[in-house]
């Protein structure tokens, strides 16, 4: 294919006078169209760029928002079934930065969109053969020791993630079989911080640690109602009827920003308690907003910012927040600055620290308890000390 295109480009110079340029252009386009994988793949690429790229990276390599896993490590691709991918995308992983994107839980994606995304993640390869069912033969009690000694520093405790995928997450464990866990543990995830443990731990220890991880499984919390409040393109329907400003009659807040971008949870909580006038924007997917949000915050997701039209541009501080904790809120803040809002910032440590510290939130019924502080002095929630510069995703 490349050879043909290269030939055409070369030929343009030679044939400028012979063949009209327009014809060459048409031939090029036809050749490109013929080389393109299925339409579902192309749709998946567009959806990925709009919704996923800013965390999972331009090449699905992960770690664009730090701590976001790779979707292309060879061992992940070789073991993650289509059903596993679909569940992760549609339902998300509650209480992590991974929102539910399915329409049923208040996300923007319909079933065909999710199929297209799975095709894109697969990169044109077919789904792997299903793993043979092979439950762990180990002991959870012994496995706990193996886990605390070798895994907890990255994967966190039963209640809280540290820097890597939260293995205790109810939604993860509902779709990851023992065979899936075993394959990941033995061979690791090449190209990521997850080493293979097959040479380090004994087969017995590996069985034990699988049994321990399995023992952490809990019922998947019900999807918060009512997704009826969310439009098909993932906006809250009701924004016109909700107050946009917190403490509309209060005095203006004053903040000093870190790096001209970030305001701490402590500073915002102080202004909030002093009943200062503020706008708080939850920049996450509405499914996350429906699960839990700061009391008084409005939902304006990073991928659909029409509702910014309702935010007053009168000098009031506008604080965007998310869970990752800078990326999707950064997109909303950049858009506000582009529109000329003078006082904008990102909540530095994100919404989970706000919740952990007991500041007011609205949580849907049946949600899991407040996340515990992170283990072993690991970074708070998903604190992001890596590169925060970011181009807004294509719309
Ligand atoms: C705000 C950042 C963010 C965005 C945006 C995001 N993800 Fe994720 N995603 C994560 C994080 C963090 C995890 C791991 C969650 C955990 O801690 O268990 C994850 C996990 C996943 C997983 C499971 C991977 C595994 O190893 O178990 C898949 C699949 C996935 N995301 C796909 C997507 C797709 C597709 C989109 C776009 C529709 C998307 N994500 C958007 C942050 C994000
Ligand atoms: C140095 C940090 C670190 C340590 C220690 C570590 N892991 Fe991991 N682990 C990771 C990261 C990071 C990932 C996600 C890799 C990626 O991007 O795909 C991961 C992925 C996994 C996965 C696959 C999750 C998924 O969504 O597919 C399993 C299972 C796992 N680790 C189990 C363990 C166990 C059990 C131990 C201890 C024996 C352990 N890990 C130790 C960092 C670590």
What are the extents of the domains in the chain?
1-35, 140-215, 227-377
Q: What digits encode the pLDDT tens for the residues 132-167?
A: 999 999 999 999 999 999 999 999 999 888 999 999
Centre of ligand 2 to C-alpha 210, Å, is 12
The residue whose CA is least distant from atom 7 of ligand 1 is: 98
140-215 fold: Cytochrome Bc1 Complex; Chain D, domain 2 (1.10.760)
Alpha-helix runs per DSSP H in 164-260:
170-175, 178-187, 203-215
Sign for the pseudo-dihedral over CA of 262, 165, 171, 143: negative
**Ligand 2 neighbour 138 (Cβ under 6 A):** no
Question: Which ligand neighbours the alpha carbon of 94 most closely?
Answer: 1
* Run of H or E including 14: helix 2-15
Token couple for 75:
């061992």
Looking at residue 237, its pLDDT comes to 57
Residues with pLDDT less than 70, the chain: 1-37, 223-241, 366-395
Residue closest via CA to ligand 2's atom 8 equals: 194
Tell me which ligand sits closest to the C-alpha of residue 302.
1
Residue 376, token pair as written in the block: 């072993």
End-to-end CA distance of the chain: 29
Topology of the domain covering 227-377: Oxidized Rhodanese; domain 1 (3.40.250)
What's the pLDDT at 243?
Answer: 86
Q: Is 105 exposed, middle or buried (0-12, 13-18, 19+ CB in 10 A)?
A: buried
pLDDT computed for residue 4 by the predictor: 45
DSSP helix/strand/coil, 170? helix
Instruction: Return the residue whose CA atom lies nearest to atom 22 of ligand 2.
Output: 184
pLDDT at 321: 98
CA-proximal residue: ligand 1, atom 3 (nearest): 55
* Long-range residue pairs from 360-366, CB within 8 A, at least 24 positions apart, any chain: 360/272, 360/294, 360/295, 360/296, 361/292, 361/293, 361/294, 361/295, 362/292, 362/293, 362/294, 362/295, 363/291, 363/292, 364/224, 364/225, 364/290, 364/291, 364/292, 365/224, 366/221, 366/222, 366/224
Q: Pick the residue whose CA is nearest to atom 37 on ligand 1.
A: 52
CA distance 204 to 148: 16
- For residue 6, count CB atoms less than 10 angstroms from its CB and return exposed for 0-12, middle for 13-18, buried for 19 or more: exposed
Rounded to the nearest angstrom, the distance between the alpha carbon of 191 and the centre of ligand 2 is: 12
| Alpha-carbon gap, residue 250 to 272, rounded angstroms | 10
Which residues lie with the beta carbon below 6 Å from any ligand 1 atom?
51-52, 54-56, 65, 67-69, 71, 76, 85, 88-89, 93, 96-98, 101, 117, 161, 165-166, 169, 172, 324, 327-328
3-class DSSP assignment, residue 8? helix
Q: Can you tell me the distance from the alpha carbon of 380 to that of 372, in angstroms, rounded to the nearest whole number?
A: 10
Give dist(CA 283, CA 297) in Å, integer: 10
Neighbour-count burial of 384, counting CB atoms closer than 10 A to its CB (0-12 exposed, 13-18 middle, 19+ buried): buried
Q: Which two tokens stand for residue 161?
A: 């993630």
Q: What is the pLDDT of residue 350?
A: 95
Can you tell me which atom of ligand 2 is nearest the CA of 163?
12
Which residue, by CA, sits nearest to atom 25 of ligand 1?
69
pLDDT of residue 239: 55
Going from the C-alpha of 47 to that of each of 260, 303, 333, 392, the distances in angstroms are: 31, 10, 22, 14
Helix (H) or strand (E) holding 263: strand 262-263
Which of 73, 154, 183 for a ligand 2 pocket mutation test, highest count of atoms within 8 Å of Cβ? 154
pLDDT in the model for residue 220: 83
Nearest residue (CA) to ligand 1, atom 39: 52
Q: Which residues contact 18 (CB under 8 A, 6 or more apart)?
A: none
Ligand in closest contact with the CA of 56: 1
Q: Whole-angstrom Cα distance, residue 272 to residue 357?
A: 14
Give the position, in ligand 2's atom list, of the atom nearest the Cα of 146: 38
163 Cα to the center of ligand 2, angstroms: 10
User: Which uninterrupted H or E stretch holds 121?
Assistant: helix 111-122
């Amino acid at each position: 294919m490349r050879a043909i295109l290269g030939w055409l480009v070369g030929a343009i110079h030679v044939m400028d006078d012979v063949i009209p340029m327009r014809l060459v252009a048409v031939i090029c386009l036809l050749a490109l169209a013929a080389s393109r994988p299925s339409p579902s793949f192309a749709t998946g690429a567009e959806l990925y760029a709009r919704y996923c790229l800013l965390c999972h990276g331009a090449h699905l390599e992960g770690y664009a928002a730090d701590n976001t896993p790779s979707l292309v490590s060879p061992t992940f691709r070789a073991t993650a079934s289509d059903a596993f991918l679909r569940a992760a995308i549609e339902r998300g992983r509650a209480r992590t930065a991974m929102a539910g994107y399915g329409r049923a839980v208040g996300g923007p994606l319909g079933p065909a969109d999710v199929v297209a995304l799975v095709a894109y993640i697969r990169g044109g390869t077919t789904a792997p053969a299903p793993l043979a069912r092979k439950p762990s033969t180990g002991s959870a009690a012994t496995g706990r020791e193996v886990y605390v000694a070798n895994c907890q520093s990255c994967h966190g405790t039963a209640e809280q993630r540290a820097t890597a995928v939260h293995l205790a997450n109810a939604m993860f464990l509902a779709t990851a079989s023992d065979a899936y866990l075993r394959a990941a543990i033995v061979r690791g995830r090449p190209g990521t911080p997850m080493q293979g443990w097959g040479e380090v731990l004994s087969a017995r220890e590996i069985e034990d640690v699988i049994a321990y991880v399995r023992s952490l499984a809990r019922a998947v919390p019900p999807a918060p109602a009512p997704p009826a409040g969310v439009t098909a393109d993932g906006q809250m329907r009701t924004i016109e009827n909700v107050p946009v400003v917190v403490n509309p009659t209060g005095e203006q807040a004053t903040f000093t920003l870190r790096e001209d971008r970030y305001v701490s949870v402590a500073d915002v909580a102080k202004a909030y308690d002093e009943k200062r006038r503020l706008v708080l924007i939850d920049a996450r997917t509405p499914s996350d907003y429906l699960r839990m949000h700061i009391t008084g915050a409005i939902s304006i997701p990073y991928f659909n910012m029409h509702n910014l039209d309702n935010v007053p541009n009168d000098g009031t501080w506008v604080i965007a927040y998310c869970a990752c904790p800078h990326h999707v809120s950064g997109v909303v803040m950049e858009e506000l600055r582009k529109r000329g809002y003078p006082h904008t910032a990102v909540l530095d440590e994100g919404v989970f620290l706000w919740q952990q510290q007991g500041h007011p939130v609205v949580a849907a019924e049946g949600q899991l308890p407040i996340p515990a502080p992170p283990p072993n002095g690991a970074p708070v929630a998903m604190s992001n000390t890596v590169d925060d510069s970011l181009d807004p995703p294509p719309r």
